[in-house]
Every structure is written in C-alpha cells, then in structure tokens.
Amino acid sequence: MSKINYEYKSIFKDDIINFFKIKEAILSSTTLSEYSSVLKSFDLWCLNNNIKNNLLTFEIINDWIMDGCETKSHKVSVIRELAKNMNNYTTGNYIIPKKFYKNNINHIPYIFSDSEIVKFINYLSTIEKCRGFNYRKETFTLIFELLIFTGARKSEILDLKISDIDFEDNLIFINHGKNDIQRELPIDNSLSKKLKEYNDLIPYKDENDYFFCNIHRNAQVRKRVSNSCLSKIFRNGLDNINVAYKNKHEGPRIHDFRYTFIVKSIQKLVNENKNLNVYLPILSKYVGHTTFKDTLYYFKPKEVIFSKDNYKHNTLVPNLSEEEFYEE
C-alpha cells in the first residue's frame, strides 16, 4: 500500500492528510497512487497561487482543474471526494458535479470482429521471451483473454491478487472496480482452467502477490504488470492483424475490447429476442455498471466503428433508448 511520501504544505494540508489516510484503508495501491498524484498537484498549485482561503470554493477548484495538462476527469473525481470529506467536519466546500467538464475529444470505439479477435489471440501465442521478464507470453496471453472474454476493465484485471480468484467455483472477485464497486465475475471452465495452470506455473510468494506480475529472473522482484507494457503488446498485436492504429484519442484502444464485449452481448440478446428488461440488468451487473443506463451508453450503433468483417451486422441492431426499458 502506498504511503504519504510528500509533505503537504498548502492551506489544505491537514484536510488532504486526513482524507488520504481514510482512502489508504480502502483503495488499491494503484488507485491510491493516482489519488496521491492528484492531491500533490492540487497542493502545489495552491502553494504556487498563494491560496489562503481554507474552503474549497468553485473558483479555486475551477482554476486548478483548468490549469495544467492532467485529465480533468481524474481531478474532478478526487477533488469531489476531498470536498465531501471536508464537509463532514465543516461546511461550505463546493462539490463539483461529476460531468461538469466534458471531454473535448470524443472517442470513437472500435468494435472488433470475431475473426480479428481470433487473429489477435493467435498473435499472443507468438510473443517472444524478454530478458528480465519471465513468463511474458503466458502473462500477456491470459491478461488479454480475460479482457476479451469478460469485458472487464484493464485496471480490474491488472489489480487482481491471487486471493481474488476462486478456482473451485470459477469466480473472479473484483474488489477495486470503478467507483470502488465490488462484484463477482463468473467465468467458464476453459478460462478457469487456464487461470489454474498459470497459477501453478508462477512462483508466487503469497496470496497477496499480484496475480499478473513481472517476475524477474531472480524471482525477488514482483512488480505489477504496467500499463505501458500492456499497451506495447496491444499495439504490436494491431499491426499483426492489420488493424490500423491512429492515435491515442482515436484508437483502437485496449478499452475497445470492453466495448466489443458489451456491444456484442447486447447484439446477441437482441438477435435472440431476449427480454432486455430481464437480461440487461444482469449484463450491467456483470460488467460493473451501477445501472443499465450506463451499459446502454456503450451501445450507440451510429457512434461506433464496426470492423469491415462485421459492419454488415450494424443495420441489424436497433438504436436502443432508455425509454424502452420503462415500458410495461
């Protein structure tokens, strides 16, 4: 677990330290590290701008969020939580709405075809060994298969600990999902078998080790697989299956495997004439959404790019709306 290794000095230093200690007990080390980075940025900004007001006003929050190149959504998320915590022992701290700042860049999801998925998985079997990273092929193959076949978020898979997997009941426990939502992720026998074989292969120390870790040759350094390593494998895979990568905003992105899973799951329900009032909430819970409306957000046929192989299916899917799910 990350510790406070920066000395906060701004007018909000006591508030930040108190808030950080609360989060320290409930957040994963990765999420806590992100919080620490944002809070440090805020503290330094307050010092540099000589902030003397000990209340979080809209002006202070807005000026800080608009300054710098960090992602606005990350800043909003953390400063909202800080303000809520401060309001527990004082009043007047402004809680900024979650979606107050809209991203100026609209990501257009890429929906992978079945054949592209197969080609990508075949590519993973060709990953070469890397000096200093034992079990490289086995690690990245299983990570991407989980992303593809469960629709889980990248951070949820990378943050898995050994203790989060129940091999007997074929369950993965997501303990630090988005918004700290916990859930059980049922998996099929085939995927469970692969997880068990991988578990038997890796020389773990204890159940608190990351399930997917970069084990160096001396087996003493066990680091969580990094986002940069995963992105590099992904980009190489796109080249291998002849899917053009445009840029970090237009993708395709690793997150598009989640889009593909959700879109195709809804598409399958529609094609099988399933009652969406019944099945959509189940799918929403499986992928870690708070409501089915969050799941519907992923399914906007006019705003996604279907690969050439499955573009013809685009017209078979109705443009679903929230109103449909309020009808008796």
Q: Tell whether the model's pLDDT for residue 224 goes beyond 70.
A: yes
Q: Residue 222's pLDDT band (boundaries 50, 70, 90)? A: low
Q: Is residue 3 over pLDDT 60?
A: no
Q: What is the 3-state secondary structure (H, E, C) of 154-188?
A: HHHHHCCEHHHEECCCCEEEECCCHHHCCEEEECC
**Residues 68-118 pLDDT 10s:** 655 778 889 899 999 999 999 999 999 988 877 665 455 778 889 999 999
> What pLDDT, on the 0 to 100 scale, is given for residue 1?
42
Determine the Cα–Cα distance for residues 165 and 155; give it in Å rounded to an integer. Answer: 16
Distance (Å, rounded) from C-alpha 60 to C-alpha 93?
Answer: 11
Alpha carbon 151 to its chain's center: 10
User: Residue 241 — pLDDT band, cuts 50, 70, 90?
Assistant: very high
Pick the residue with more confidence: 43 or 251? Answer: 43
Task: Rank 58-62, 179-183, 314-318 by mean pLDDT and report only the highest.
Answer: 58-62
- Determine the Cα–Cα distance for residues 74 and 92; give it in Å rounded to an integer: 22
Mean of the pLDDT values across residues 220-245? 86
Q: CB burial class (10 A; 0-12, 13-18, 19+) of residue 208?
A: exposed
Q: Of 205, 201, 200, 231, nearest to 134 (Cα)?
A: 201
% the chain with pLDDT above 70: 81
Mean pLDDT over 264-275 rounds to: 86
pLDDT by residue (tens digit) across 13-70? 999 999 999 998 888 887 888 888 889 989 989 987 889 999 999 999 988 887 765 5
pLDDT confidence of residue 125: 92
- Return the pLDDT at 243: 93
What pLDDT band is residue 316 in, cutting at 50, 70 and 90? Answer: very low
Report the C-alpha gap between 67 and 78 in whole angstroms: 16
pLDDT in tens, 142-164: 999 999 999 999 989 998 989 99
Q: Report angle CA 46, 51, 55 to the nearest 5 degrees.
A: 100
> What average pLDDT does this structure show over 235-259?
88
Residue 299 has pLDDT above 80, yes or no: no
Interatomic CA distance for residues 297 and 280, integer angstroms: 12
Q: Which is more confident, 77 or 246? A: 77
Closest C-alpha to 10, from 57, 38, 49: 49
User: What pTM did the predictor assign?
Assistant: 0.65
Per-domain boundaries in the chain: 13-86, 106-328
288 Rama sector, left if φ>0, alpha if ψ -120 to 50, beta otherwise: left
Domain 106-328 CATH assignment equals 1.10.443.10: yes
pLDDT band at 256, cuts 50/70/90? very high
- The torsion angles phi and psi of 253, rounded to 5 degrees, stand at -120, 160
189: phi then psi, degrees, rounded to nearest 5: -60, -35
